Chains A and B, each alone.
Chain A
């Protein structure tokens, strides 16, 4: 069973908000990914999103695309990512792990086999950026059957009709994209988020995470007030890119601790 819902319930009981950092599996190299995952947890992550590298990450900005390219240079494939999660699970049985990526690598593996593997290695949720609910009843059926949560994006432009569609298949949490654009872009509009989140809650009972464009502790704090969790991706991936290999883990941990502290002040 997925660890996501219990995690949000625990947070809710003590009035906390989820910190959900994102890294790309295999970036800067495959050997560091599991250690980075543990470091994220130690620094205060509640849920970890792991990017599955893809050759054509259309919805991502340049920072995350470069991380995908670095991972692909090391030949990191979907089955390697699943192996990394399995290794992570040998010493961490409780932190939810969500895979985030594009549909084609999963298609190549086959959705049923993928869902089975996710359940085996301890993946709790899967966010397939380019598979909207309308196209993917069969795919998400496999995830449901194996106790893996399909996570969906909602955008400022998502109609109420589509929020209703998403509500039918979504599990775990929904991920609200806080700006118009790609990951890591521009500045977000807090007042727009403050308006949209209560609106989404009329349709979906799941916790709502907000991401895309959260670049510092101050923004993370402000956003976390408005929702149930904040997702930070490009800023962390940027830190990985800017760090020497020996310093990657320490630098990422420092950044995530800052974010944690900021969110705890809410």
Chain B
């Protein structure tokens, strides 16, 4: 996969895309909306990232860790059997589920931990919803010998007992967050508070492409290894680039990862799939781009699920990783600019795709990724057999056993 075929490089005619700007804006979105108490720390982080992101030694260590610790490159797999059953476009899966720790999240935590090390911060903190980012952070903290504190909503701790235990095994302290709705957004608030209090020795590893600049850019960059690989792998495996790239969107890190190198490639449609929960009309969902309005939360301007008075409202999804009222600002910009389209998939549709992938391909996908799979399953039959869909299989479903069993009426 090191050698690009002449065919592939010929096709990569580029569109101009250079976001964010120097102040962290993606069009009107993004930016730095934080209290003055955090400005100094963000400035320090921005300067460090600008320096190390182009430092050959840093880049070499990041690449080495991704190869030998994470297990990259992850393969792309042609889901022939499932595609055949659906009877239309060919579906290819980018196997981020095969990474160490079982999801794309570790790409970013490795990058941020290496940065923390260079910035001389011995302590890392993180927020987590389902626990995947918490596990990925605890993992790299153990790997690089750092103290690790993970904030997690008390409600989520109840729902994700296995991941809580996993983090503890890896040496992290898991702090239950009892404020607000006791879920991801409250964990994020609490992590910010920790950071502002312990700025000298602490690095805050944000898990998604949200938060104040430079986080959305930095988390995207670390995850963009996914699309860098795809651009090379797809011509080798499918003979060409895909017609559409499909990924689930909560905060949006796996989607930005697989979109990024394709943004500048004309003819490749980018489709983000949000969680429609019990249905958009029911109000019980987490689809910020589909049903939200622009506003400011957690350090950036983006689409938010909010009431008419600007209060953030609680979200609902069977997938804890998509259960977030905002979305990364770059997705807000890709939506408004028309470069990407965003759709929403209900819990029941995601579950169907979950079972189908188990059944037809012998792969147990994460419930988050199942949203992207469900949308692929929806459009594939409407397309010709020669069309190609690339889906980011962003994580594996081991963590979701209890949830899926419960929906099926089984207590494990």
Residues of A within 8 A of B (CB): 54-59, 61-62, 65-66, 69, 72, 77-79, 102-109, 129-132, 134-135, 152-155, 157-159, 162, 177, 180-182, 185-186
**Is B179 located at the chain interface by the 8 A CB criterion?**
yes
Q: Does B185 lie at the interface of the complex (its beta carbon under 8 Å from any beta carbon of A)? A: yes
Q: CB < 8 Å: which of B43, B185, B295 contacts A108?
A: B295
B270 within 8 A of A: no
Q: Known contacts A132-B36, A135-B33: does B196 contact A59 (CB below 8 Å)?
A: yes
Contacts of A181 in B (CB 8 A): 37, 193, 196-197
Give 9 closest A-B pairs by Cβ, nearest first.
Answer: A108-B310, A157-B40, A105-B310, A77-B309, A59-B35, A153-B36, A181-B197, A104-B310, A55-B311
Contact partner of B199 (CB less than 8 A), chosen from A104, A129, A152, A157, is A157
> How many residues of chain B are within 8 Å of chain A by beta carbon?
37
Give the CA-CA distance A56 to B299 in the complex, in Å. 11
Min CB–CB distance A155 → chain B (angstroms): 4
Cβ–Cβ < 8 Å partners of B304 in chain A: 104
* Chain A residues, Cβ within 8 Å of B31: 135
A157-B39 contact given A104-B304, A107-B296, CB 8 Å threshold: yes
- Is B362 at the interface (CB under 8 A from chain A)? no
* Chain B, residue nearest A80 (CB): B309
Residues of chain B within 8 A (CB-CB) of A152 are 36
Contact flag A108-B306 (CB < 8 Å), given A134-B23, A182-B193: yes
Q: Are A153 and B35 interface neighbours, CB within 8 A?
A: yes
The answer to the question of B189 belonging to the interface, with a C-beta cut-off of 8 Å to chain A, is yes
A106-B310 in contact given A130-B296, A130-B299 (Cβ < 8 Å): yes
Closest to A131 in B: B33
Could you say which residues of chain A place their CB within 8 Å of the CB of B189?
A: 56-58
Complex: A56 Cα to B184 Cα, angstroms: 12
- Which residues of B lie under 8 Å from residue A153 when comparing CB positions? 35-37
| Prevailing SS type, chain B contact patch | mixed
User: Which of B23, B43, B180 has the most A CB atoms < 10 Å from its CB?
Assistant: B180
Contact partner, B33, options A72, A106, A130, Cβ 8 Å: A130
Q: Once the chains bind, are A56 and B39 in contact (CB under 8 Å)?
A: no
Instruction: Compute how far the CA of A181 lies from the CA of B296 in the bound complex, rounded to whole angstroms.
Output: 21
Q: Is the CB of A182 within 8 A of B40?
A: no
Please, could you name 15 A-B residue pairs with CB atoms under 8 Å apart, sorted by A? Answer: A59-B34, A59-B193, A62-B179, A66-B179, A69-B179, A69-B180, A104-B295, A105-B309, A108-B293, A132-B39, A153-B36, A157-B37, A159-B40, A180-B196, A181-B197
Min CB–CB distance A90 → chain B (angstroms): 24
For A61, list chain B residues within 8 Å (CB): 193
Which residue of chain B lies nearest to A212 when distances are taken between CB atoms in the complex?
A: B37
Q: How far is the CA of A58 from the CA of B191 in the complex (A)?
A: 9
Residues A132 and B43 in contact, CB atoms below 8 Å apart: no
B192 within 8 A of A: yes
Contacting residue for B196 out of A56, A77, A182, CB 8 A: A182
Please tell me which one of the listed residues B34, B41, B298 contacts residue A56 in the complex, with CB atoms under 8 A apart. B298
B33: chain A residues within 8 A (beta carbon): 103, 130-132, 135
Partner of B39, one of A57, A79, A162: A162
- B311 pairs with A54, CB closer than 8 A: yes
**Nearest chain A residue, comparing its CB with the CB of B36:** A153
Q: Please name 13 further chain A to chain B contacts, defined as beta carbons within 8 Å, in addition to the given A104-B297, A131-B33, A131-B296, sorted by A numbering.
A: A59-B196, A79-B309, A104-B311, A107-B295, A108-B306, A157-B37, A158-B39, A159-B43, A177-B36, A180-B197, A182-B193, A185-B197, A186-B197
Q: In the assembled complex, which residues on chain B have CB atoms less than 8 Å from the CB atom of A59?
A: 34-35, 37, 192-193, 196
Q: List residues of chain A with CB within 8 A of the CB of B409.
A: none
- Interface 1/0s, chain B 179-191, versus A by CB < 8 A? 1100001100100
Does any Cβ of A come within 8 Å of B6's Cβ? no
Say if the beta carbon of B249 comes within 8 Å of chain A. no
* Contacting residues, chain B, for A158 (C-beta < 8 A): 36, 39-40
Question: Using Cβ atoms and an 8 Å threshold, which residues of chain B touch A104?
Answer: 295-297, 304, 306, 310-312
